[in-house]
A and B are shown apart, each in its own frame.
Chain A
């Protein structure tokens, strides 16, 4: 094998326990994150086989998908949700897994609390029964979502069987324009590559734009890797990464830290390492983005019009069906469209940086009367920071309320459902039909675009509001 290896090769190869001839690799998993929705059947399987959890100390459980975002101190009303939460709590207890349930100080969305607690580290493998596990790639980890059969595999053997994906590098240089956030960069990439453009690949993000991003921003980008079909995405760790993780609860300390650093410093793609596919974009052409259709690839610069079916490759009928669901017309402008709901939250944009951005726009303004806004922090830590930094006061002054942490309207398993036919500007990751509630119509966008819509009640270019301030 060549000496020149990519970041992905280095981490993957060092975790292969066994190579099966003409088959998948047996890959060791360092960290396994578990939540209430995709784990119960896996635990049942474990019981049926009379197996144990091989490494409970490498396993972490939280409740997030199915939980209410108000009155979390009261018993969960929906009996089915309550049953799943109870099952996870009991399973965690039986198998000795740390469990951060509702009300626990460390509770929050699984992909938000992993990094917050130092569970996510450079050079580790992370899996979870949730496709946005790709988030953790921001630290230079190999992280991807798995199905419930695989959850059972990892519980009982800490391994998974996977064919090594191909490698793609996405390089973006140039400086980003005002009001262009990591979410816009990601939505832009997906709009260019389509929702299946990276299927079969593991992506490395490289170039100035990602180097300049905060860790929060890198998480947003890696989070959305799955929306172009990629198994996951990762960014080489650097000083920003190391200073983010240093001192967190599960981060190695003292001598262990020094040893880990020696390994982490080797984690980059060697010069001339080969990728199966290279894609290059210019960062300076990206505008604040918004989606108009029913998959995350259907995104455009906010000041553009909805493309015509003829201008899209193939699938005219599918394209029209999608616009029909949204009740939009080909050629329509997105700016000015009336909206009904705003959702700020999810593992894509539910971190402190996102609340800061939202507050920057709504500060000194008022929420539009007809808009219902759900502001849901990704974790209790985020919630605390919102309060401490004075953001809560700004939000309340502008007529917003903060809810309690959880996945909420990202997948609408709890009561946070957008009603049929209503439009929601959402900072989450999926605009599929019914994703945010049966019949709900989702416009994916950044926290800045969401904030602008929340105060004007329409799709609005955040630059307009932000320019007023600087003028």
Chain B
């Protein structure tokens, strides 16, 4: 499924300074029963966001209207656990286009890149600065510049570079996905399969 192109994103951010946020928290298993990719944003962080009777938990950051924006900033080892792509869908469908952390779990990072959410890994020190900037001003803006691979705290102009695989970067900039690429090399794949032992 193609997604929107990603170039430069300037936005305020939602802080979630918790470590090891696993995909079971991002979207609990009981919401994985759909057969279409629809409505996952409503259940993003369901059990942290709502009481069992569906009333909102006031203290959870998504229920605090001060915090808005297209950037989600999480603690270390974000997205660990289950491979469910639904976690990335929920983040995208809720309206985030970028997740910032000092460390991402592997499968989650891949899933994000495959659906158009940019994972930006920063140093622990820079992550701290981002949290501090938001604490000082919940409306603080950040600029995520994919072409130059930088993230900037606008208020202080502090900046850090981030890594992304050049191929994935091209895809994100153009809104392409891997399936188109693979489909274009089908003959090569079939030849290859013919020579395999098993």
**Number of A interface residues, CB 8 Å?**
79
Which residues of chain B are near A18, meaning CB under 8 Å?
Answer: 185, 188
- Interface residue A280 (Cβ < 8 Å from any Cβ of B): no
Which residues of chain A are near B178, meaning CB under 8 Å?
Answer: 149, 153, 161
Within 8 A of B (CB), among A153-194: 153, 156-159, 161-163, 165
Q: Which residue in A17, A124, A195, A317 is a CB contact (below 8 Å) of B192?
A: A17
Please measure, in the bound complex, the distance between the C-alpha atom of A252 and the C-alpha atom of B196, giving whole angstroms: 14
Please, what's the 1-or-0 string for A125-160, where 1 marks a CB less than 8 Å from any CB in chain B?
Answer: 000011100000000000011111110110011110
Within 8 A of A (CB), among B1-37: 1, 17-20, 22, 24-25, 28-30, 32-37
- Interface residue B103 (Cβ < 8 Å from any Cβ of A): yes
Contact (Cβ within 8 A) A49 B20 = no
Which residues of chain B are near A157, meaning CB under 8 Å?
Answer: 179, 182-183, 185-186, 189
Contact (Cβ within 8 A) A150 B185 = no
Which partner residue on chain B sits nearest A197 by CB separation?
Answer: B77
Please, what's the 1-or-0 string for B84-96, where 1 marks a CB less than 8 Å from any CB in chain A?
Answer: 1110100000000
Please measure, in the bound complex, the distance between the C-alpha atom of A438 and the C-alpha atom of B182, giving whole angstroms: 40
**Highest count of chain B CB atoms <10 Å: which of A124, A159, A229, A412:** A159
Known contacts A22-B166, A433-B25; A231/B179 CB under 8 A: no
Within 8 A of B (CB), among A297-347: 314-315, 317-318, 321
Which residues of chain A are near B77, meaning CB under 8 Å?
Answer: 195-196, 199, 229
Q: Which residue in B19, B106, B183, B198 is a CB contact (below 8 Å) of A123?
A: B198
Contact (Cβ within 8 A) B105 A229 = yes
- Interface residue A281 (Cβ < 8 Å from any Cβ of B): no
Which residues of chain A are near B165, meaning CB under 8 Å?
Answer: 22-24, 163
Contact (Cβ within 8 A) A196 B114 = no
- Interface residue B177 (Cβ < 8 Å from any Cβ of A): yes
Which residues of chain B are near A129, meaning CB under 8 Å?
Answer: 83, 85
Q: Which residue in A20, A40, A66, A131 is a CB contact (below 8 Å) of B81?
A: A131
Contact (Cβ within 8 A) A295 B114 = no
Which partner residue on chain A sits nearest B20 by CB separation?
Answer: A295
Which partner residue on chain A sits nearest B32 by CB separation?
Answer: A37
- Interface residue A459 (Cβ < 8 Å from any Cβ of B): no
- Interface residue A399 (Cβ < 8 Å from any Cβ of B): no
Which residues of chain A are near B104, meaning CB under 8 Å?
Answer: 199
- Interface residue B47 (Cβ < 8 Å from any Cβ of A): yes
Known contacts A30-B196, A41-B35, A149-B179; A158/B189 CB under 8 A: yes
Please measure, in the bound complex, the distance between the C-alpha atom of A393 and the C-alpha atom of B87, giving whole angstroms: 43
User: Interface of chain A, helix or strand or loop or mixed?
Assistant: loop
Contact (Cβ within 8 A) B30 A158 = no
Please measure, in the bound complex, the distance between the C-alpha atom of A377 and the C-alpha atom of B24, giving whole angstroms: 24
Contact (Cβ within 8 A) A438 B24 = no
- Interface residue A80 (Cβ < 8 Å from any Cβ of B): yes
Known contacts A28-B189, A30-B196, A131-B81; A412/B52 CB under 8 A: no
> Within the complex, what minimum Cβ distance (angstroms) separates A325 from chain B?
11
Please, what's the 1-or-0 string for A96-133, where 1 marks a CB less than 8 Å from any CB in chain B?
Answer: 00000000000000000000000001011000011100
> Within the complex, what minimum Cβ distance (angstroms) separates B111 from chain A?
4
Please, what's the 1-or-0 string for A239-270, where 1 marks a CB less than 8 Å from any CB in chain B?
Answer: 00000000000001000000110010000000
Contact (Cβ within 8 A) B182 A156 = yes
Please measure, in the bound complex, the distance between the C-alpha atom of A30 and the C-alpha atom of B192, giving whole angstroms: 11
Q: Which of A67-75, A81-89, A353-361, A449-457 contacts B (4 or more CB under 8 A)?
A: A81-89
Within 8 A of A (CB), among B136-184: 165-168, 177-179, 181-183
Please measure, in the bound complex, the distance between the C-alpha atom of A189 and the C-alpha atom of B103, giving whole angstroms: 20
Contact (Cβ within 8 A) A295 B22 = yes
Which partner residue on chain B sits nearest A16 by CB separation?
Answer: B192
- Interface residue B65 (Cβ < 8 Å from any Cβ of A): no
- Interface residue A379 (Cβ < 8 Å from any Cβ of B): no
Please measure, in the bound complex, the distance between the C-alpha atom of A412 and the C-alpha atom of B24, giving whole angstroms: 11
Which residues of chain B are near A22, meaning CB under 8 Å?
Answer: 165-167
Please measure, in the bound complex, the distance between the C-alpha atom of A438 and the C-alpha atom of B52, giving whole angstroms: 8
Contact (Cβ within 8 A) B106 A229 = yes
- Interface residue A275 (Cβ < 8 Å from any Cβ of B): no
Contact (Cβ within 8 A) A196 B103 = yes
- Interface residue B107 (Cβ < 8 Å from any Cβ of A): yes
Which residues of chain A are near B1, meaning CB under 8 Å?
Answer: 45, 48, 149
- Interface residue A462 (Cβ < 8 Å from any Cβ of B): no
- Interface residue A55 (Cβ < 8 Å from any Cβ of B): yes
- Interface residue B82 (Cβ < 8 Å from any Cβ of A): yes
Known contacts A145-B83, A229-B77, A432-B81; A123/B47 CB under 8 A: no
Which residues of chain B are near A145, meaning CB under 8 Å?
Answer: 83, 107
Please measure, in the bound complex, the distance between the C-alpha atom of A272 and the C-alpha atom of B18, giving whole angstroms: 41
Please measure, in the bound complex, the distance between the C-alpha atom of A343 and the C-alpha atom of B80, giving whole angstroms: 23
Contact (Cβ within 8 A) A81 B106 = no
Which residues of chain A are near B193, meaning CB under 8 Å?
Answer: 28, 55, 158
Which residues of chain A are near B188, meaning CB under 8 Å?
Answer: 17-18
> Within the complex, what minimum Cβ distance (angstroms) separates B155 from chain A?
25
Contact (Cβ within 8 A) A153 B35 = no
Contact (Cβ within 8 A) B114 A315 = no
Q: Which residues of B pack against A, CB within 8 Å?
A: 1, 17-20, 22, 24-25, 28-30, 32-37, 47, 52, 75-77, 80-86, 88, 103-107, 110-111, 114-115, 165-168, 177-179, 181-183, 185-186, 188-190, 192-193, 196-198
Nearest first, the 6 A-B pairs at minimum CB distance are A23-B167, A147-B85, A80-B33, A40-B35, A145-B83, A147-B111
9 residue pairs of the A-B complex, CB under 8 angstroms, read A37-B32, A38-B85, A44-B36, A66-B33, A80-B33, A147-B83, A148-B86, A161-B181, A162-B110
